[in-house]
Each structure stands twice: as C-alpha cells, then as structure tokens.
Amino acid sequence: MSAKPTPNQPLVRHMYTADPSAHVFEGKLYIYPSHDLDHDGPSNDNGDQYKMEDYHVLSIEDFDSPVVDHGEALHLKDIPWASKQLWAPDAAYKNDTYYLYYPARDHDGIFRLGVATSQSPAGPFTPEPHWMEGSFSIDPAVFVDEDEQAYLYFGGLWGGQLEKWQTGSFEPDAAGPQGEEPALGPQVAILNDDMLSLRSAPKEIKIVDENGAPITAGDEDRRYFEGPWVHKYNGWYYLSYSTGTTHKLVYAVSRDPLGPYTFKGTILTPVIGWTTHHSIVQFQEKWYLFYHDCSMSEGVNHKRSVKFTELSYNEDGTIQTIVYSEL
C-alpha cells in the first residue's frame, strides 16, 4: 500500500517503475508497468541497462484512495522461452479473462512477444509456454475496439530490434532507414478471438504528414521510435508514441485502426531521463496521461518512476501539449 496518487509525483516510491499501461477494469484503474532494477551494469543503445525480471500490478480505486501494489504478477523464471529483459507490458480483457502481453529475449537473444492469463486484473498471470507465433520486437499494446475486435501494436528501434525485421526475417546486422527515406512505423496485427494468437501477419503502420507524405527517418521530432499506444476519441483512432532521440511523446490520428495515421502534434515535451513511454486512459469522466521520468533517481536512466497528469482535448479533437517543465 502506498500514499494516495498525486499528479506528477511518483505513483509508488518503494520500487522503480516505468512504461505504464493504464486500463479501467472492474471500475478501478489498473496500471501495468515494467519494474526497473537497481544495478551497476552498462548503459548503451542496445538497452543493456534495462534488466527487468518481473511485473507488479498497481491499482487505484479513486484519486482519494491509496495506490495498491498487488505484488509480483509474473516473473522471468516462470516463462520457459524467455532468457532476460521483461520490458514494457500491456494488458487487455476479453473472454472473461485478463491477458498480459510482454516482450522478452528468447534464448537466442531475439525479442519476442509473450502472453499470460489470469482471472483477476491484479494477477498473478500464467504464461503461455511459447511466444506468440509471428511476433517480434518490443512494446506490445493491445486495443480492443467497440466491436470486440482486438489489435496488437508493437515495435521499437535499436535495442528493440525493429529495424532488423524489414525483410520478414531477423537480420542481426540490418540498419534502419536514414535521412529522407520513409521512417519505419510500428507493427500491427489482428488478434484471434482467443487473444493468444495472431489472426493476420504483422504489417507496418504508415505515419504521414498533413499532405500524405511519409514521415522521414531523419525527422526525429515526428518519426516513430517506440512505445505505441492506441486509444479512441470521438470516432478517431489516436496512435501515440515516443520519438526516442528527441524525447517527445507525439501522436497521429486515423479513421482506421490499421492506419495510415496522420501526424498531429506533441503530447508531452521531454522529461528527465532518456526514455519516455506512456498510456492514455479515460477514468471517472476525465482523460489521463500516464508516463515516467527519472526524477526520483535524479536522472539515472534505468531507475524510472511512473507518474500521471490530466490530459485535455481541444474542440477540434487535437490534444493540448503538456509542457513537462511546467508540471
């Protein structure tokens, strides 16, 4: 049990948390973060500093109640195919079952996506014995539409290995697009009704500018890097994501969950720390952005803390930019 949640303050202080996926289940707000470990290992573009081994589930009854840590929901040692690095997860509900989606490296060092199930949103979760066939890279995010069709979004550059899958097979030495070449977008796949397998092969989402031209790899203020999230507002699908090197959370919109998506703007300006990863959720008639920063660790990139702040829309459906330095 922790103190009651305060906007723009760490949700919990007894451990480091990151990459929050927030959902409303059973009338409560549940947050599925990754769990940063405190260690002295190397820090590099391959992400070796992020050694996470388990997941904890957090919940909030309302904003006047304490944040509850439900304890360990899943551990690396319980996943037969995984060797290390339980990075950013997500959760979904369907078929009277809760599903936890997560990335991990297999025993060949290749990132795959796994899924685990529970009868409770708080877990514990029981993992499937094998990764999801056809999956790769990191940062799974599941969107269940109003018609109950579920979509799996995923992908991250550099340590997330997305650029190594451009041919459809893992190419360890592959490099991503550069300069004026179209940037790589996230991947999307339609999930089967069992929520455990892909109905369709993953396809790349196209992100374009207001004129329909692809966002380029050199446009680091707008191009996709990692951390996709999809939510729906007034009939529009909003794809939000991290730009990585420029440390922004940005978004694009579409009338189709599969895209293409048209770039619209910035949600959150750079936070303290290298990575930024988020989710957007409606709870008790307001919209909230969940994000993380490294303020509690005074800037140590692999010791992050989940926070939240209210998110607002303009009348035309655009999202009002949140300036981190003003929070």
Domain boundaries defined on the chain = 16-326
Q: What is the pLDDT of residue 301?
A: 80
In the prediction, which pLDDT does 41 show?
Answer: 65
User: What would the mean pLDDT of 174-189 be, rounded to a whole number?
Assistant: 97
Residue 49 pLDDT > 80: no
pLDDT for the residue 136: 98
Active-site residue, from 90, 163, 226, 293? 226
pLDDT of 39 above 70: no
Contact residues for 44 (Cβ-Cβ < 8 A; gap 6+): none
* Side-chain-side CA neighbours of residue 319 (13 Å): 29
- Per the model's pLDDT, the better-predicted residue between 288 and 275 turns out to be 288
HSE-CB for 251 with a 13 A CA cutoff: 27
Could you report the per-residue pLDDT of 203-212, keeping only the tens digit for each? 999 999 999 9
pLDDT of residue 51: 73
In this prediction, what percent of the chain has a pLDDT beyond 70? 96
Which of the two residues, 276 and 41, has the higher pLDDT score?
276
Contact 98, 117 (CB under 8 A): yes
Confidence class of residue 306 from pLDDT cuts 50, 70 and 90?
Answer: very high
Per-residue pLDDT averaged across 196-200, rounded? 96
Determine whether 38 is an active site residue: no
* pLDDT of res. 62: 94
Nearest to 78 by CA among 49, 55, 59: 55
Mean pLDDT of all residues in 75-86: 96
Tokens of 141: 């995010």
- pTM for this prediction: 0.96
Q: Average pLDDT over the chain, rounded to whole?
A: 95
Model confidence band, residue 50 (pLDDT cutoffs 50, 70, 90)? low
Q: Annotated catalytic residue: which of 19, 69, 90, 293?
A: 19
pLDDT at site 46: 64
Tell me the average pLDDT across 179-192.
98
d(CA 88, CA 17): 10
pLDDT in tens, 231-246: 999 999 999 999 999 9
Rounded CA separation 246/235 (Å): 30
Reported as a pLDDT band with limits 50, 70 and 90, residue 275 is confident
| Residue 170 structure tokens | 């893992």
Provide mean pLDDT across the span 46-74: 90
Q: Indicate whether 176 pLDDT > 90.
A: yes
Active site residue 180: no
User: Is 16-326 assigned to CATH 2.115.10.20?
Assistant: yes
Spell out the residues 6+ positions from residue 101 whose beta carbon is closer than 8 angstroms to its own: 89, 90, 91, 92, 113, 114, 115, 140, 141, 142, 152
**Quick one: pLDDT at residue 43?**
61
